[in-house]
Amino acid sequence: MKSLWRKDVEMPEFPILEGDVKTDVLIIGGGIAGILTAHFLHEKGVPYILVEKNRICSGTTQNTTAKITSQHGLIYHKLLNDYGTEKAEMYYRANEKALAEYKKLCNGIECDFETKDNYVYSVSDRKVLEQEMTALSKIGCNARLFDCLPLPINTAGAVSFGNQGQFHPLKFLGNVAKKLNIFEHTFVREMKGNIAITDRAVINAKNVIVATHFPFINKHGMYSLKLYQHRSYVIALENAQQTDGMYVDESKNGLSFRNYGDLLLLGGGSHRTGKDGGNWTELRKFAAKHYQSSSEIAHWAAQDCMSLDSMPYIGSYSANTHRLFVASGFNKWGVTGAMVAAKILCDCVMENKNEYAQLFLPDRNMLRVQLLLNVVESAVGFVGFTGKRCPHLGCSLKWNKAEHSWDCPCHGSRFDEKGTVLDNPANGDLKN
């Protein structure tokens, strides 16, 4: 199983960090959020080190569907109800600036960037689309409501943002990363304050940024309650359909469509990590019914951290930590979210004011229904009876038949058949 993006790209390689090192900023995690943060610090001349436990972009970043958009489902009606017009508008403007920054950077990089309209459709609920349009009008967004879509399913319509983007993420990031101060195969095993300990190095940093997908430091921030993880699946099809746009269902378990060249990327089959879901079987059945002349050339899966209120956690790791920062909880919109995070985190370490920083603070109000659901899932996981236990916090692991992995339904850690860790927050392999 390898994503389409891995098939035609050789990523730059970087050495292993060794010895005792000091730096102004340590970035832990070599995915899109970490690399973009390093890029902007590099531009500003701020001394930094980025460390990645494997190869850069070897985690969630290589499995994205690579849509660049400020339209994150039907989020604006929810944000307006939860936080009011001002904060909903701030969220929109932060992501619009992220989109503009991508367009500027991609202008000088061969990464198959294309301007495309984005559509969020509903299969049966026209009312939720109309509610979203009302919310968008209040924050000054010029969206459009469509009745008919060029998809092989019946819908109630779609809300569309024009002039969004899509690209080849690894072509883009490989180019951005090649000039940066990066060390691969440098696994941070332990943190003592702002001192990071790896197998071959000790890094003393004035500022630490944790960009490891799921934050791995358990004693601060309560991320094991504030986040859960969700898996989704993609197949790449030849001879399927040209959609001329990016389409996603407003339902968390619906289908997504976008083209890359002559290929159709069909996504869906989603489920909470450690639970049952449709996975690739659902997508292949759909393709067999609606794209009978198509053939599958690649398939892969992605894992996303989901926050309590549909907004990322960006900023101070917790109210009680000093010069320790985090970026997580991008809720399946990690491409634009990573750009927002990179800008905010650079301003944090440079002590510059950022107009959007307050909106994404990780220590904001946790009182959400999802918090209760996360607590229940954790409680059920702790009392499970399977023999294998997650080394993160001890939850009972579930066997994932589709992907041949042991998955944690509490916090989303995953392990292969031999017990090697695939997805964090677990920071080590299973014990025999």
Per-residue pLDDT of the chain (432 residues; tens, 9 = 90+): 789 999 889 999 999 999 999 999 999 999 999 999 999 999 999 999 999 999 999 999 999 999 999 999 999 999 999 999 999 999 999 999 999 999 999 998 999 999 999 999 999 999 999 999 999 999 999 999 999 999 999 999 999 999 999 999 999 999 999 999 999 999 999 999 999 999 999 999 999 999 999 999 988 999 999 999 999 999 999 999 899 999 999 998 899 999 999 999 999 999 999 999 999 999 999 999 999 999 999 999 999 999 999 999 999 999 989 899 999 999 999 999 999 999 999 999 999 999 999 999 999 988 788 888 888 877 777 676 667 899 898 889 999 999 999 999 999 999 999 999 999 998 888 886
Contact 188, 198 (CB under 8 A): yes
Task: Spell out the long-range contacts of 239-243 with Cβ–Cβ below 8 A and sequence spacing 24 or more.
Answer: 239/291, 239/293, 239/294, 239/295, 240/264, 240/266, 240/287, 240/291, 240/294, 241/150, 241/152, 241/291, 243/150, 243/151
Contact 296, 311 (CB under 8 A): no
Contact 420, 429 (CB under 8 A): yes
Contact 381, 409 (CB under 8 A): yes
Q: State residue 168's pLDDT score.
A: 98
Domains of the chain with bracketed CATH: 4-64+171-226+309-360 (3.50.50.60), 228-306 (3.30.70), 369-423 (2.102.10.10)
Please give the C-alpha separations between residue 407 and each of 217, 401, 411, 413, in angstroms, as whole numbers: 20, 10, 9, 6
Dihedral (Cα; 74, 76, 77, 81), 10-degree rounding: 140
Q: Could you give the CA distance from residue 308 to residue 271 in angstroms, rounded to a whole number? A: 17
CA 294 to chain centre: 29
Residues 6 or more apart whose Cβ sits within 8 Å of residue 375: 225
Question: How is residue 5 written in tokens?
Answer: 């993006």
Q: Could you give the CA distance from residue 17 to residue 390 in angstroms, rounded to a whole number? A: 28
Alpha-carbon radius of gyration of the chain? 21
First to last CA, the chain: 26
Q: State residue 432's pLDDT score.
A: 66
Q: State residue 371's pLDDT score.
A: 83
Count of Cβ atoms closer than 10 Å to residue 244 Cβ: 11
Q: Could you give the CA distance from residue 315 to residue 349 in angstroms, rounded to a whole number? A: 10
3-class secondary-structure state, position 27? strand
pTM equals 0.96
Sheet holding 421-423, edge to edge: 398-400, 405-407, 414-416, 421-423
In 142-216, where do the E strands start and end? 144-146, 157-166, 182-183, 190-192, 195-197, 201-210
Q: State residue 428's pLDDT score.
A: 84
Q: State residue 112's pLDDT score.
A: 97
Q: Could you give the CA distance from residue 114 to residue 209 in angstroms, rounded to a whole number? A: 31
Q: Could you give the CA distance from residue 138 to residue 141 in angstroms, rounded to a whole number? A: 8
Question: How is residue 105 written in tokens?
Answer: 């950077």
Q: State residue 31's pLDDT score.
A: 98
